[in-house]
Structure 1
Amino acid sequence: METSNHFGALTPAAEVAAAFSNSIKGKTIILTGVSPKSLGLATASAFASQSPANLILTGRSAEKVEASINDLKSNYPNIKYHALIMDLASQSSVRAAAATINDDDSIPTVDIIVNNAGVMAIPDLNLSEDGIEITFATNHIGHFLFTNLILPKLIKAAQTSSTPTRIINVSSFGHQFSPVRFSDINFSKRPSDLPEEERPDLQKTEFFTGNSHADDIYYGFFSYAPSKTANILYSVSLNQRLQEKYGITSFAVHPGAVNTNINRHATPSDIEQAHKRVKELGFDPTQKAIEQGANTSAFAAIATNLPSVNTSETQVKGVYLADCEIDDANVAAFATNSAFAERLWTLSEELVKQKFEL
């Protein structure tokens, strides 16, 4: 069997899937945010190559999800595919999608969920129909609600399966630029008016973008970064609640620099400058093909040689992965802080108006 040392930044996701095929064959896997030419579709393709029983693909657009399924069928026709239409920014849509899964007796268990969907750098402040800033609503709250609602099927899988039951949250190195704004989710304050532990890193932002945006009440990247921090903190909370009790592990992953449609609000010059700045910060911004960008999501979901996440300390270790390996060195302390994880869980329950006792 392969180990993490055999994989790297440019390993195709299909190679990872082949190495841990037993974690996929006959399993039920859900992926959010699947559309043509997307990271979600590349991840789904890697899983499809190893004969899962069910691949459940979600997205806002029925047309795009069906196009993705048709693409997969052309290569892997014998898989049972399910299109689940869900707008993560709408709690009513999320609840309806979760009910579809929970009420489907032909899907008694869910072995893996990859919370892949996301939006990035939306130029203007927008609130969801539930009154939540749209990036936070989509990237975190929708996934929090959907995953928690279908947890009984994940718990059942963990109780009956000999292979890993995993919850994967696709984060980003971009989390480094801001903690969660617990007191100002909807961006009514300038950075200097926030509590110190909630302020974005203006120095890093200026280096990265050429402007600190210190006087901006809303800035697109300031909304993206805390949502990606939330993805990691959500994994921290899931491990605290599920790992020891049920054997379910959650990882947050950084896919790397992949040119997908999540960048649709950024200009080519913005992307070029971002890559240049990241390199100057000491990181390799090697542009990955989509099949390579999906490798860490696949690895985190199926690798049998990953250690348990260490939740015994204030700073949780082993929860953040990049380039198919644990990457504690490049995750911000505010993204693995157990107290912040609890604050986020409480805030998230308040925003969805439901408590989850796990």
Structure 2
Amino acid sequence: MTFTPQTPAAEITASFPEAVQGKTILITGVSPGSLGLATAEAFASQLPTNLIISGRFTKKVQAAITHLESTYPATTYHSLIMDLSSQKIRVMSIPTRTLTEDGLETTFATNHIGHLLFTNRILSKLIKAASTTTTTTKASHSGLAPPTRIINLSSFGHKFSPVRFTDLSFPNLPNELPESERPDLRMTEYLTGNSHADEAYYGLFSYGQSKTANILHAISLNQKLLAKYNIAAFAVHPGAVDTGIGRHVTPSDVEAALQRVKDLGMDPTQKSREVVDVDSGDGQVKGVYLADCKVDDGGVVAFATDRGIAERLWSTA
């Protein structure tokens, strides 16, 4: 069976009911009109036992739960209110450099640090879930990922920037960084019409850094959890989705960038059911970055799959 970029999420989920039925699933960044809510709806359609709906604002989380309960009443819903930008939903391309109350650049703090700390806080529950899942042994030998999984939402945007270890909060110009930490100015200029080389902060660079960190985080999680506890981690590029994440980007900029992406021959490919094992060896890691319902090792930049960089990021956090 294959899926196209236009295949509804619920249809894809319906092809893997055993991965959802009876499970407990936690989703961050859920509010009306969000990608988180669309994800929750797709899961709810396949009768998980519990859906934990997390977001920053009680009113928005409750509105999402009310919507889900009206359509899929068989699942039990739980609200979890937390602000992940203060160690909320993922953010993209904030026009000016902003810092959290902890002194961290806001995009990196929200998209990576907050989720990393939250994941670490619930690891004991994930380990217990993995140890009590009756299908664990069967799944580990079936070519499918283990049933206990951690999914980070990454993006094609990771290509814009590696992690700037010496400049996490963007006080320096790109050419003042070590070469291995510099953003891709040529791609930035091609996609946006401006390289932004003369700006210490640019929204797509901060977003790109955070999405690279999401992939590297998944690599470190696999290194520490896969063999020992049979817990797998992945970083998923969901494709171009019209949600509030891009509220700081003008529609004309989005249209121009998408057209340039198409000009580069990077239209979405067909989605397939193929799932492969995560390569947890040394060097460049394979099998962690997913796009269009398949492993996309060819679509991820090397700095986002380097074992050494992943460990450096883990130590930095």
Q: What TM-score comes out, normalization by structure 1 length?
A: 0.82
Aligned residue for 1:239?
222
Equivalent of residue 150 in structure 1, options 100, 122, 129: 122
Identity of paired residues, percent? 63
Q: What are the superposed Cα offsets for residues 123-170 of structure 1, whole Å, 9 maximum, x if unpaired? A: 011111111000000000000000011011111111111151000000
Counterpart CA distance in 1 for 2:100 and 2:52 is: 25
Contact (CA 8 Å) 2:276, 2:295: kept in 1 or not? no
Aligned residue for 2:22?
26
Alpha-carbon shift at residue 20 of structure 1 (Å)? 1.6
Contact (CA 8 Å) 1:278, 1:285: kept in 2 or not? no
Counterpart CA distance in 2 for 1:62 and 1:277 is: 39
Q: What are the superposed Cα offsets for residues 180-218 of structure 1, whole Å, 9 maximum, x if unpaired? A: 001111111000000100000001110011000001001
Contact (CA 8 Å) 1:69, 1:81: kept in 2 or not? yes
User: Does the residue aligned with 2:92 lie in a helix, a strand or coil?
Assistant: coil
Alpha-carbon shift at residue 306 of structure 1 (Å)? 2.4
Equivalent of residue 80 in structure 2, options 80, 84, 89: 84
Could you tell me which amino acid in structure 1 is paired with residue 27 of structure 2? L
Equivalent of residue 181 in structure 2, options 186, 189, 198: 198
| Larger RCO, structures 1/2 (Cα 8 Å, 6+ apart) | 1
Structure 1 residues 327-342: aligned runs within 5 Å: 327-342=296-311
Equivalent of residue 64 in structure 2, options 64, 68, 79: 68
Aligned residue for 1:316?
285
Aligned residue for 1:48?
44
Counterpart CA distance in 2 for 1:19 and 1:85 is: 31
Counterpart CA distance in 2 for 1:283 and 1:190 is: 29
Q: Greater shift after overlay, 197-206 or 71-80?
A: 71-80
How many residues of Structure 1 are paired with residues of Structure 2 in the alignment? Answer: 305
Q: Greater shift after overlay, 324-333 or 19-28?
A: 19-28
Counterpart CA distance in 1 for 2:155 and 2:127 is: 27
Q: What TM-score comes out, normalization by structure 2 length?
A: 0.93
Counterpart CA distance in 1 for 2:56 and 2:275 is: 32
User: Does the residue aligned with 1:200 lie in a helix, a strand or coil?
Assistant: coil
Q: What are the superposed Cα offsets for residues 18-59 of structure 1, whole Å, 9 maximum, x if unpaired? A: 222122112110000001111111110011111111100111
Could you tell me which amino acid in structure 2 is paired with residue 160 of structure 1? T
Counterpart CA distance in 2 for 1:233 and 1:281 is: 26
Alpha-carbon shift at residue 285 of structure 1 (Å)? 6.4
Counterpart CA distance in 1 for 2:239 and 2:305 is: 19
Counterpart CA distance in 2 for 1:85 and 1:174 is: 28
Could you tell me which amino acid in structure 2 is paired with residue 271 of structure 1? V
Q: What are the superposed Cα offsets for residues 238-261 of structure 1, whole Å, 9 maximum, x if unpaired? A: 111111111111110111111111
Aligned residue for 2:254?
271
Alpha-carbon shift at residue 81 of structure 1 (Å)? 0.6
Counterpart CA distance in 2 for 1:90 and 1:84 is: 15
Q: Pairwise CA RMSD of aligned residues? A: 1.6
Gaps of 5+ in 2: 137-146
Q: Greater shift after overlay, 76-85 or 317-326?
A: 76-85
Aligned residue for 1:111?
none
Aligned residue for 1:114?
none
